[in-house]
Structure 1
Amino acid sequence: MKHLAAYLLLGLAGNSSPSAKDINAVLSSVGIDADEERVEKLLGELKGKDLQELISEGSAKLASVPSGGAGGSGGAPAAGGAGGAPAEEAKEEAKEEEEEASDEDMGFGLFD
């Protein structure tokens, strides 16, 4: 994905046919080592194709993909007369996990 992002950035900057060297330069400017095999495969797939046309085709395909959902169900209530303690503990643990997960995403990079 980072290789494609670099290719698209170069295209937006006016380079209609970026080379592997150009993609490597963009990625190295932000401290990322490019995977030569992936760069070559990307260039092979996009050779001779118009980026705007590919983006339009992709957008049309994405528009036809159903993306709605009914959402998750709340799950079954706790069985027995144990009271609300196990359910409350589970809610607290889930809340802690959510907080930890949200903190982990704070160190992302532009091309990660």
Structure 2
Amino acid sequence: MKVIAAYLLAVLGGNTNPSLENLKDILESVGAEVDDDRIEFLLAEVKGKDITELIASGREKFASVPSGGGAIAVAAPAGGGGGAAAPAAPEPKKEEKVEEKEESDDDMGFSLFD
């Protein structure tokens, strides 16, 4: 991910075709580990491709991935005689959880503004 971020930073900075050295410089400037193999792999994958097209293609792929949040299946009322419809099931009440803040000993007895 950091290699991709460095590539995007280089492109946003005006370098439309960043090299291995450009990406290494960016990563080293923030103290990140540099893996030449990963950088070379990324550069091989994006060589000759437009960054906006790559991002658009990635968004399309990402949109098709399920993002969790299961839906509740509701059974439709059975058709039939002209009887009254069954009342809808009441929605479960949401419990509000109130978190109590505890004093932290992280400041070791002094404050930045004391």
Q: Specify the TM-score bucket, using the shorter chain as the normaliser.
A: 0.5 to 0.7
Segments of 4+ moved more than 3 angstroms: none
More helix by share: 1
Give the unaligned 5+ runs of structure 2. 72-114
Query: Does structure 2 retain, via aligned residues, the 8 Å contact 1:11–1:17?
Result: yes
Residue identity (%): 54
Look up the match of 1:7: 7
Instruction: Tell me the TM-score normalised to structure 2 length.
Output: 0.58
Q: When the two structures are superposed, what TM-score results if normalisation uses the length of structure 1?
A: 0.59
Distance 1:53 1:18 in 2: 17
Structure 1 or 2, whichever has the larger Rg, is 2
Amino acid at match of 1:20: L
Q: CA deviation at 1:65?
A: 1.8
Higher relative contact order (CA 8 A, sep 6+): 1
Please give the alpha-carbon distance, in whole angstroms, between the structure 2 residues aligned to 1:27 and 1:11. Answer: 14
5+ long unaligned stretches in structure 1 = 72-112
Letter in 2 for 1:9: L
Equivalent AA in structure 2 for residue 67 of structure 1? S
Q: What count of residue pairs does the alignment treat as equivalent?
A: 71
Aligned residue in 2 for 1:67: 67
